[in-house]
Amino acid sequence: MFDWQWEFVWEILPRLVQATGNTLIAAGAGYAIALVLGLVLALAQRSPSRVLTFLVREFVEFIRSTPLLLQIFFVFYVGPQFGIRLSPWMSGMIAIGLHYSCYLSEVYRGGIESVPRGQWEAATALNMSTMQTYRRIVIPQAIPPALAGLGNYLVGIFKDTPMLSVIGVAELIHTANAIGSENYRFLEPYTMVGLIFLAISLPSAGLIRGFEGYVRRKLGM
Amino acid sequence: MTFFEFVGQFWPRLLSGTGITVAQFVLAAALGVVISLAAGLMKLSENRIVNGVAVTYIEIFRGTSLLVQLYWIFFVLPLFGITLEKFTAGFVAIALNTGAYGAELVRGGILAVPKGQWEAALAINMSPAKRMWRIILPQALINMLPPWGNLMIEVLKGTALVSLISVTDLMFQAKQINGTTFLSAQVFGAALIIYYILARFLVTPFMRWLERFMARKLGRA
């Protein structure tokens, strides 16, 4: 029956703290991949080549409408079939980074499309190359309106890291599973994992809102 | 073994898994809509207790992972005397998670209904319940249907997680087939394609149809 044991909580806390570290590293690394790859996917969808635009668009749609869990399995198990062995961490980061890059590409796209046409025309008038226009004129203006979306997906990626447990990445849920089956007690580990998630994601959501406001003020928007 | 030979041999299991996935999706979506409406309306309430309950529910379920919620409901809730069968635990967890996100959509949709509509309903002496049901909600529904389309795709993707508590859905069947045949590319590839077909050719068109249907019903087509 229901009996919460504080001694047990203290006993497992060091392992959970370590797992929290792993979770944060996984979320951070996955997000870093997604930030870069997302921008590449967003820019590829604006390329003059119709074929490339179409292919990237379909790819993004495909990734966005299939489960991340399945994609994690796919990356982890399909590699060895073709002689590529990836560690759980490696495949986890690839899968989660790829999945979120498709979401982030939509956020970037919205940001880029919100830059007024006149900015492009002015850059052309100044004889800037396309690269220069993107790098120095368009992207700096596209980021602030996209910040809210980018931040939400950082919290989103953090909340999706438990799926990495299925291929053996030692993040929070994986550790809680291990503790639970070693001790036949699931109440404390799972509840603590839930509380840790709340303790991190609620303040982060607030911080992200604050940061967004700060950037907007700095840029005089 | 080529992809088509593979599908030819394993289609009965993939099909039965797809059936369970669709059942989980429909049940989770239906229950999720009901919870969203209830929580969204509760959050708009001026009663501090009602409002507090809704806010607590929404923050808890948006602040933690679906996987954590699923494990908690399946492994920890029995300790409180509430034992859910795995199939039920699966769609209830997804519905509770969806409800927290949907509640915000409901709230936003209701707040976007012009103030004049509220005043007009008051002027013709409608009771608050009747005003909400006949005047405000139908218009709010139109406002919020587009984001609901995205949320429904998330529900479909969320159903893959129920495989982790051994509900024999598509993801579960794929894992089992992979475990016995090691044809990872074929089986996970087939599952990815099935999820994509469900999302792109069933869920999304249905939501588009619903948008048009509702618009016609309200004479806004």
pLDDT at B221: 57
The residue to which tokens 């936003």 are assigned = B108
Say if CB A94 and CB A37 are below 8 A apart: no
Residue of chain B whose Cα is closest to the Cα of A82:
B185
Contact A197 B157 (CB under 8 A): no
A217 confidence band (pLDDT: 50, 70, 90): confident
In whole angstroms, give the CA distance from residue B84 to residue B90.
Answer: 9
In whole angstroms, give the CA distance from residue B185 to residue B192.
Answer: 10
Residue A75 lies in a domain: yes
Judging contacts by C-beta atoms under 8 Å, the chain B residues touching residue A166 are: 164
What's the mean pLDDT in A182-199? 93
CATH number at residue A156: 1.10.3720.10
Judging contacts by C-beta atoms under 8 Å, the chain B residues touching residue A202 are: 59, 63
Residue A119 lies in a domain: yes
A167 confidence band (pLDDT: 50, 70, 90): very high
For chain A, what is the HEC assignment?
CCCCCHHHHHHHHHHHHHHHHHHHHHHHHHHHHHHHHHHHHHHHCCCCCHHHHHHHHHHHHHHHCCCHHHHHHHHHHHHHHCCCCCCHHHHHHHHHHHHHHHHHHHHHHHHHHCCCHHHHHHHHHCCCCHHHHHHHHHHHHHHHHHHHHHHHHHHHHHHHHHHHHHHCCCCHHHHHHHHHHHHCCCHHHHHHHHHHHHHHHHHHHHHHHHHHHHHHHHCCC
Coil, strand or helix at B88: helix
Provide the shortest C-alpha distance from residue B39 to chain A (in Å).
19
Alpha helices in chain B, H assignment, sequence order: 3-44, 48-63, 66-71, 86-111, 115-123, 128-130, 137-158, 170-181, 184-197, 204-217
Contact B64 A70 (CB under 8 A): no
Does the global pTM surpass 0.80? yes
For B66-85, letters b (16+ CB in 10 Å) and e give bbbbbbbbbbbbeeeeeebe
Which of B2, B24, B69, B76 has the highest number of chain A CBs within 10 A, making it the mutation to test binding with A?
A: B76
pLDDT surpasses 70 at A1:
no
A2 confidence band (pLDDT: 50, 70, 90): low
pLDDT at B218: 83
Domain count, chain B: 1
pLDDT surpasses 80 at B11:
yes
Coil, strand or helix at B83: coil
In whole angstroms, give the CA distance from residue B199 to residue A154.
Answer: 24
The predicted-structure confidence for B20-34, as pLDDT tens digits, reads as follows: 999 999 999 999 999
pLDDT surpasses 60 at A20:
yes
In whole numbers, what is the pLDDT of chain A averaged over residues? 92
B71 touching chain A per CB within 8 A: yes
Which of A1, A66, A75 has the highest number of chain B CBs within 10 A, making it the mutation to test binding with B?
A: A66
In whole angstroms, give the CA distance from residue B98 to residue A52.
Answer: 35
Residue A146 lies in a domain: yes
Q: Which of A40, A102, A94, A42 is nearest to A71 (CA)?
A: A94
For B165-180, what is the HEC assignment?
HCCCCHHHHHHHHHHH
Say if CB A174 and CB A92 are below 8 A apart: no
Domain count, chain A: 1
Which amino acid would we find at residue A82?
F
What's the mean pLDDT in B27-52? 95
Task: Note down the domain range covering A35.
Answer: 6-218
The predicted-structure confidence for A43-97, as pLDDT tens digits, reads as follows: 999 988 999 999 999 999 999 999 999 999 999 999 888 888 899 999 999 999 9
Say if CB B136 and CB B110 are below 8 A apart: yes
Residue A1 lies in a domain: no
In whole angstroms, give the CA distance from residue B128 to residue B107.
Answer: 16
The predicted-structure confidence for B69-96, as pLDDT tens digits, reads as follows: 999 999 999 888 889 999 999 999 999 9
Residue A83 to residues A78, A95, B130: CA-CA distances in angstroms? Answer: 9, 18, 65
pLDDT surpasses 80 at A221:
no
Binding-site residues on chain A for chain B (CB distance < 8 A):
1-2, 61-62, 64-71, 73-74, 77-78, 80-82, 159-163, 165-166, 172-173, 176, 180, 186-187, 190-191, 193-194, 197-198, 201-202, 205
In whole angstroms, give the CA distance from residue A190 to residue B65.
Answer: 11
Contact B67 A173 (CB under 8 A): yes
Q: How many CB atoms lie within 10 A of CB A105?
A: 26
ipTM of the complex: 0.90
Provide the shortest C-alpha distance from residue B81 to chain A (in Å).
8
Residue A60 lies in a domain: yes
pLDDT at B157: 96
CATH number at residue B157: 1.10.3720.10
pLDDT surpasses 90 at A4:
no
Which amino acid would we find at residue B48?
R
Task: Note down the domain range covering B185.
Answer: 3-217
